[in-house]
Amino acid sequence: MKTLASLIKFLRERKNEIAKMHHLETQELVPGIYAIQTKDANFYVIRNGDGYIAIDAGGGGKGIAKAELSKLGIDPEQVSAVLLTHTDFDHTSALGLFKNAAVYISKQEVQVIDGSVPRMFGMKNRLKHNYKVIENDGELRFGTRKIKPILTPGHTSGSMCYLLDDTYLFVGDALSLQDGKVVLFNSLFNMDDEIHRQSLKQLAQIQDASYMFTAHYGFSDSCQEAFQKFR
């Protein structure tokens, strides 16, 4: 009964929290990096030689993502990899569109989809696609692109950010941007605010990143300045 009451309260508050968000229209933000607008979330596509890499897969299903990608002339079958920041539905709903892509999640995110650690209200996230598990730090290579995975728990227990070519930081729901400054993501959706705060302090130590791309709060071209509060 308590869980049901909590769920009803969550659904009432969810609309207000979503109203605080602002999403980018589908466009090329910097050369070779594209924001894709879907229902209640952005995901990003990175040019990689003759193909692409995606960070997340957006919300609202395959139809929305396909239509938005077509505006940029991007063929989803040319996407060779999808790196998920986490497995909430608004980041995974168009995965089926990328038929030739390997899907990657953090090792710690597995427990959110197998139910070992409930996402909220005793429920687990769903991921129907085969996936590859990646560890914290290390390095991934896709053609000429270098990507460093960075574990940033708090929003989910396995939330992961990705640093592309030491310059472009993709954070999913690891943070919000308000007036160009980093703040915590909406607490209503976080699993643990305190752990989340520690993850932001970790991200603030990255020295080389210039650009930062979020799923719900646009992007920043002044990454170092944005993190000042957490240094």
pLDDT tens-digit series, residues 120-173:
888 899 999 999 999 897 899 999 999 999 999 999 999 999 999 999 999 999
Predicted pLDDT of residue 138: 86
Please indicate, yes or no, if residue 23 is contained in any of the structural domains: no
* CATH at 45: 3.60.15.10
Range of the domain at 91: 39-230
Whether residue 2 lies inside any domain: the answer is: no
Q: Quick check: is 49 in a domain? A: yes
Task: Write down the pTM of the prediction.
Answer: 0.96
Share of the chain residues as helix, strand and coil, in percent rounded to the nearest 5: 30, 30, 40
Q: How many domains does the chain have?
A: 1
Residue 97 maps to a domain: yes
For residue 118, being part of any structural domain is answered with: yes
Is 12 inside a domain boundary? no
Does 16 reside within a domain?
A: no
57 contact partners, CB below 8 Å, separation of at least 6? 43, 65, 82, 84, 91, 92, 93, 94, 95, 97, 98
Return the structure tokens found at 111. 């427990």
Q: Quickly state the pLDDT bin for 2 (edges 50, 70, 90).
A: low
pLDDT band, residue 206 (cuts 50/70/90): very high
Answer yes or no: is 30 within a domain. Answer: no
Handedness of CA 88, 163, 24, 191 (dihedral sign): positive
